[in-house]
Structure 1
Amino acid sequence: MTYIDQLKREIQLNKIPKRIISLVPSQTELLVDLGLEASIVGVTKFCVHPKHLRMSKAVVGGTKQINIEKIEALRPDIILCNKEENTKEIIESLKEIAAIHVSDIYNLKDCFELINMYGEIFNIKRTTSTLVSNIQLEREAFQLQFQNRDKLKVAYFIWKKPWMVAASDNFIDVMITEAGFVNVYKEEKRYPEIDLNNSKLKEADLIFLSSEPFPFKEEHVLELQSKFPEKTIKIVDGELFSWYGSRLLKSYTYFKTLSS
């Protein structure tokens, strides 16, 4: 069978894959929630959900550095990657080992497409269709409840030293909008470095410090609060703003806590 991934690459599979390696944490969690845990043979050290998985599956490296020999020894039928999280060099190095499926996520449509692609590849279309429907129901319920709320402006920090924020052209920006906020860095691209005297930052009503990839702590809240005493500054769950698999089921309930 021929399948097409999100980079429009053709993938040839002669059977339903039974030995899966996932190099993307959010996609690993998605596989488990789709009932495919038994088929997973390899994960990354960053695949932290569910917590027990790294103890029961082979850890083949990170998202940017992998152990090729270990991956080859696992004899995977398919390796699941992501354009942003895994390098082009990694994807090229694996193509002789197994079929490679690469996701490319910028919005919710892409998320739903990926989930449905897994439904086709792993022959679980009913399960994936149900998951997409349930996420859409959570989204619709949130929008109905908060549709008339004033939209506060937010600056969403992902890194310190240098200070970096999520701007546009990435999934976090989409989820900032989904949560009912306006990204003050919407006019910039990707993840720019900024100075704390940046004029856009002064426009923000809220400053969000993401729990990942930089592990912001309360000490960083206090540091920024001293500089911006009039702003609300809080640490937010980065996974619920950036993981695009089944964790989306939890995002909208979490967004309600930020909107209250």
Structure 2
Amino acid sequence: MTARRVVSLVPSITEALATVHPEALVGVTDWCTHPPDLESYGARRVRGTKNPDLAAIEALRPDLVVVNREENRELDVRRMRERGLRVEVTDIETVPEGVAELERLLDLLGWERPAWLAEARSLWCGPLPPVTRRVVVPIWRDPWMVVGPRTFTADLCRRLGWEVVQAQDPDAPDRYPTVPVEELDRCGADAVLLPDEPYVFTADDGPECFTTPVELVSGRALTWYGPSLVAAARDVARPTLTEG
């Protein structure tokens, strides 16, 4: 199979596929922000990751619709398959899984693997380094939600030598638990990492809640599994420091 019409409902995967054949991306979500010129290649917006326009997707006659187990709903996958659409579900919880899933997906599409993907494998898929510090990573406020240990972001941090901690049982089923902010501030972290997505933390929105040292980091570098992985070690490891 060499796919010529692909709908991607996963922003990270959209960016990854666009580095190979952007003209084949006929449908993307409103959250697919990279590359910023997707419409110039003919891509149509089909709403969000959790509320895709199924009729619009069907009308695009895709060879394949790409989704992710965490980002998209099982209900939408089932409904697309009932419409006769071919849907490929990716499942990514670690950086090596992200690299491997992208390799598998490109092979399934019949597309070549880009050079950045081999570089990402070299950078991120080796032995784990020693832990040098403990961090807590909020992704939302009011209520405060944090990255749990069984997530892509936690694994990326661990591969930088940072252990993600939280004020909750690490075996709890919720991968992004809600935790009172005062508990986050006393959970033993050396630093609080505040990304600029999905919640847009800034120097004026977030750091004031903590006495623990706070660092503003790139949300894309911390959470996306695509070409951003090549620069992620540099972008995450050089945060903007703020006063607690």
With normalisation by structure 1, the TM-score equals 0.82
- Report how many residues are paired: 235
Cα pair 1:167 1:188 within 8 Å, conserved: no
2:98 corresponds in structure 1 to 111
Distance 1:256 1:207 in 2: 13
Q: Identify if the C-alpha distance between structure 1 residues 200 and 183 changes in structure 2 by more than 3 Å, giving closer, same or farther.
A: farther
Cα pair 1:184 1:200 within 8 Å, conserved: no
1:93 aligns with 2:74: no
2:151 corresponds in structure 1 to 170
1:68 aligns with 2:80: no
Cα pair 2:13 2:102 within 8 Å, conserved: no
Q: What SS does the corresponding residue of 1:203 show, helix, strand or coil?
A: coil
1:154 aligns with 2:135: yes
1:131 aligns with 2:116: yes
Distance 1:209 1:199 in 2: 12
Q: Deviations over 1:74-130 (max 9, x none)?
A: 1111000001111001101111342111100011221122122123222234x25x4
Q: Identify if the C-alpha distance between structure 1 residues 258 and 180 changes in structure 2 by more than 3 Å, giving closer, same or farther.
A: farther
Cα pair 1:171 1:242 within 8 Å, conserved: yes
1:30 Cα shift?
0.3
Cα pair 1:76 1:97 within 8 Å, conserved: no
Cα pair 2:8 2:28 within 8 Å, conserved: yes
Q: Deviations over 1:113-148 (max 9, x none)?
A: 2122123222234x25x433211333489x8xxx57
- Name segments (4+ residues, structure 1) moved above 4 Å: none
1:215 aligns with 2:211: no
Distance 2:217 2:188 in 1: 19
Q: What SS does the corresponding residue of 1:208 show, helix, strand or coil?
A: strand
Distance 1:154 1:60 in 2: 36
Structure 2, gaps ≥5 residues long:
none
Q: What SS does the corresponding residue of 1:175 show, helix, strand or coil?
A: helix
1:57 corresponds in structure 2 to 43
Q: Which stretch shows the higher mean deviation, 240-249 or 39-48? A: 240-249
1:259 Cα shift?
11
Cα pair 1:135 1:249 within 8 Å, conserved: yes
Q: Identify if the C-alpha distance between structure 1 residues 214 and 54 changes in structure 2 by more than 3 Å, giving closer, same or farther.
A: farther
Q: Deviations over 1:191-232 (max 9, x none)?
A: 11111221773411101112111111222244224xx1xx32
1:51 Cα shift?
0.7
Q: What SS does the corresponding residue of 1:193 show, helix, strand or coil?
A: coil
Q: What SS does the corresponding residue of 2:192 show, helix, strand or coil?
A: strand
Q: Which amino acid aligns with 1:210?
A: P
Q: Identify if the C-alpha distance between structure 1 residues 188 and 167 changes in structure 2 by more than 3 Å, giving closer, same or farther.
A: farther
Q: What SS does the corresponding residue of 1:198 show, helix, strand or coil?
A: helix
With normalisation by structure 2, the TM-score equals 0.87
1:203 aligns with 2:188: yes
Q: What SS does the corresponding residue of 2:97 show, helix, strand or coil?
A: helix
Cα pair 2:217 2:240 within 8 Å, conserved: no
Cα pair 2:147 2:153 within 8 Å, conserved: yes
Distance 1:244 1:222 in 2: 26
Q: Identify if the C-alpha distance between structure 1 residues 199 and 89 changes in structure 2 by more than 3 Å, giving closer, same or farther.
A: closer
- Which residue, 219, 238, 241 being the options, matches 1:257? 238
Cα pair 2:194 2:201 within 8 Å, conserved: yes
Q: Identify if the C-alpha distance between structure 1 residues 131 and 39 changes in structure 2 by more than 3 Å, giving closer, same or farther.
A: same
> How large is the RMSD of aligned CA atoms in angstroms?
2.5
